[in-house]
Amino acid sequence: MNALIKSATIIDTKSDFHNETVDILIENGTIKKIGKSIKNTANYKEIVLNNLHVSQGWFDSSISFGEPGFEERETIKNGLKTAACSGFTHIALNANTNPIIDNASNVTFLKDKANNNAVTMYPIGALTKASKGKDLAELFDMKNAGAIAFGDYKSPITNPNILKIALQYAQGFNGLVLSFPFEKNIAGLGVMNENFTSTSIGLKGIPNLAEDLHIARDLFILEYTEGKLHIPTISTEKSVDLIREAKKKTLNVTCSVAIHNLFLSDDTLKGFNTNHKVMPPLRTQKDIDALIEGVKDGTIDMVTSDHTPIDIEHKKVEFDHALYGTIGLESAFGALNTLFTTKKTIDVLTRGKQRFNIEDSSINIGNKACITLFNPNEKYIFEHDAIVSTSKNSIFVGQTLKGQVYGIISNNKIALKS
């Protein structure tokens, strides 16, 4: 793949050309030259786009598709296309398929399905067999097959001894253990945040305690085992405080937050829109403020779209019966770029790579081209026609966002929006 990117502003603090507007010459998938005005002597494909900005490729640590088992929600092929159109060169795929990704052959199947694509997909293996929380899955075999972490998606580890054993066992091969913070016995039959809003509209609430208590337990176990833990999609003020304190104690812990938990509060549920039914639930503005501060000061290590396609048959039902989840890839950059500066947005979209042992490829001469192309200034209302996913269950429809993605260059391929 050969190309000449014209007049692009580089946003990459690890690049020698950070904040400069330059041309970028790519030959055979490698950056060969960066300069103010490069002539296209070889007649390569020229990429000329309005207010073009580029950064190193983005990473999303929590993506769900459907295949295998739920292809009506999303196939791997269309899911990877969606990721590319949304600016993501690397994604971690959750283990919530049918069958569950709990052995090496399932990991290999997914890797093969995603082969030869501009987007690199990394499977997350289930922590326990069939994600039932009883027995550890084949962690080491899945690691060797290409799994980058281990966790039961949206399913908490109810048995603390399972977490203890997993953290101890995974140290033998530098494995990363994920623990979803949700105490079922506290949450009960709740379907949204427990607050004034839940009482006023008559929906059962999930208190912050359900998350906070679970995180406190996990951090005690982590300190005991001296393992390596990632806590996905936190949502409460207390969670931020607990993880901040754990990091001060130098525990090996990281965490993420879903973009919608930074952007929307539980007030939006007054309309009973099931696309707003997510897990963890939307919280209060006080929680949002604490989460945003956690992103800014580095307590929260990464931000995820937590992209979860759900077919209409499981969303267009009564709120209590609707499945949890929203798609989020297509709106991820625009939402984050509305909340933070563009520099900070790019930072949180790329800094999760290190935790998952993914190569960090800066925009420098001699490096492989792993680039996201975007316009950070365009404001727009996010509508259904912007959705590339097969499922259309977006929490962001109707929201005003800032920043459009053009596509990616990665794995010696160009994938731009048509």
Mean pLDDT across 262-290: 97
Per-residue pLDDT of 53-70, as tens digits, reads: 999 999 999 999 999 999
Residue 317 near residue 274, CB atoms below 8 Å:
yes
H or E element at residue 32: strand 30-35
Total-model pTM: 0.96
Q: What is the mean pLDDT of residues 262-282?
A: 97
Taking the C-alpha atoms of residue 303 and residue 61, their distance in angstroms, rounded to an integer, is 8
Q: Which of 306, 311, 320, 385 is catalytic?
A: 306
Instruction: State the pLDDT at residue 418.
Output: 78
Q: Give the β-pairing of 53-56 and 371-381.
A: antiparallel
Q: To 5 degrees, how large is the angle CA 192–CA 288–CA 358?
A: 100
Instruction: List the domains of the chain with CATH numbers.
Output: 3-53+364-379+402-416 (2.30.40.10), 57-356 (3.20.20.140)
Amino acid 258: pLDDT? 98
Kindly state the percentage of the chain with pLDDT values over 70: 100
What average pLDDT score do residues 199-228 get?
97
Hey, which residues does 415 pair with through a beta bridge?
408
Distance of alpha carbon 193 from alpha carbon 265, whole angstroms: 9
- Across the range 5-29, mean pLDDT stands at 97
Confidence of residue 331 (pLDDT cuts 50, 70, 90): very high
The reported pLDDT for the residue numbered 43 is 94
Q: C-alpha angle with apex 220: 214 to 225, nearest 5 degrees?
A: 120
**Cα gap 105→342, rounded to integer Å:** 40
What is the mean predicted confidence (pLDDT) over 135-144?
Answer: 97
The residue among 107, 114, 8 whose CA lies nearest residue 51 is: 8
Cis peptide before 99 (omega within 30 of 0): yes
pLDDT, mean of residues 242-256: 98
Mean pLDDT of 83-107: 97
With residues binned 3-state (H G I as helix, E B as strand, rest as coil), the percentages for the chain, rounded to 5, are 35, 25, 40
Q: What is the mean pLDDT of the chain?
A: 97
Token pair belonging to 184: 């079922």
pLDDT band at residue 308 using 50, 70 and 90 as cut-offs: very high
Q: Are 277 and 231 in contact (CB under 8 A)?
A: no
Query: At CA 195, angle to CA 190 and CA 196, rounded to 5?
Result: 125
- The answer to whether 348 and 303 are in contact (CB under 8 A) is yes
CA 57 → CA 115, 253, 260, distances in Å? 18, 24, 21
Statement: residue 235 has pLDDT above 90: yes
- Give yes or no for residue 225 having a pLDDT over 90: yes
Q: What is the pLDDT of residue 76?
A: 97
E strands, 265-370, where?
302-304
> Average pLDDT of 239-259?
98
Query: For residue range 366-415, what is the model confidence (pLDDT) as tens digits?
Result: 999 999 999 999 999 999 999 999 999 999 999 999 999 999 999 999 99
Say if CB 330 and CB 260 are below 8 A apart: no
Which ranges of 147-258 would DSSP assign to H, the alpha helix? 160-170, 184-187, 196-201, 209-225, 237-248
Our answer to whether residue 306 is catalytic in this structure is yes
